[in-house]
Amino acid sequence: MSVRGPRLEFAVGAFLLLALASLLVLALASTNGKFSFGQHTYPLKARFTNLGQLRTSAPVKIGGVVIGNVADIQLDPVKFDAVVTLAIDDRYKDLPADTSAGILTGGLLGDSYIGLQPGGDETSLKPGEEIAFTTPAVDLIQMVGKYMFGGGGKPAAAGDGDTAPAGTTPPPTETPSP
């Protein structure tokens, strides 16, 4: 019997263990150290007319600091608004009742996230309550289209307000009586 057999088996086993360890490290690194095991969160809801590219598990931030994530996105069948459920870390359970939420984008083409702006109300949002003040996502393509093809691209020059648009009658001007 050859001595080469056990060495080869040992080398293959060591290689497989190294490959599995590398995959485990890669999996842990991709979570950025955030696990859902034992993490205590409470739900808040927010209603938006436009989500843009917001997805579940997107971060929820205050001042750039992640305080939670998007747990669920549903469509309200009555109002046809998107209802977003936020999972907020228990450490931040004293958010003021007049906190506002907006859908923001990290950079020009970055991922969407929810940005919270705490207000000054002394009462706090309770788990399951809805954030009343929301700002929908900005559609960049629509904004660029409006700018390029009319509808807000050209600033008014001095004297432009003296003429009425075509097809309209200018309002009557009053002259002071002596």
Q: What is the pLDDT of residues 95-145, one digit of tens each?
A: 999 999 999 988 777 889 999 999 999 999 999 999 999 999 887 777 888
Q: In this structure, is residue 27 part of a structural domain? A: no
Cα gap 154→147, rounded to integer Å: 8
pLDDT number for residue 162? 47
Six token digits for residue 167: 């097809």
Q: In this structure, is residue 54 part of a structural domain? A: yes
Q: In this structure, is residue 126 part of a structural domain? A: yes
What is the dihedral angle through the alpha carbons of 52, 53, 54, 57, rounded to the nearest 10 degrees?
180
Q: In this structure, is residue 33 part of a structural domain? A: no
Q: pLDDT confidence of 178, banded at 50, 70, 90?
A: low
What are the start-end ranges of the H helices in 103-173? 140-148
Q: pLDDT confidence of 35, banded at 50, 70, 90?
A: low
Q: In this structure, is residue 87 part of a structural domain? A: yes
Distance of CA 170 to the CA centre of its chain: 45
pLDDT number for residue 147? 85
Residue range of the domain that includes 77: 41-144
What is the dihedral angle through the alpha carbons of 49, 55, 56, 58, rounded to the nearest 10 degrees?
-100
Angle, alpha carbons 131-108-57 (nearest 5°)? 45
Q: In this structure, is residue 2 part of a structural domain? A: no
Q: What percent of the chain has pLDDT over 70?
A: 76
Cα gap 147→125, rounded to integer Å: 39
Six token digits for residue 161: 């307000």
Instruction: Look at the chain and report how many structural domains it folds into.
Output: 1
pTM of the model: 0.62
* Average pLDDT of the residues in 65-82: 94
Write the pLDDT tens digit of every residue in 4-32. 678 888 989 999 999 999 988 887 777 65
Q: In this structure, is residue 149 part of a structural domain? A: no
Residue with tokens 């309200």: 76
Q: In this structure, is residue 7 part of a structural domain? A: no
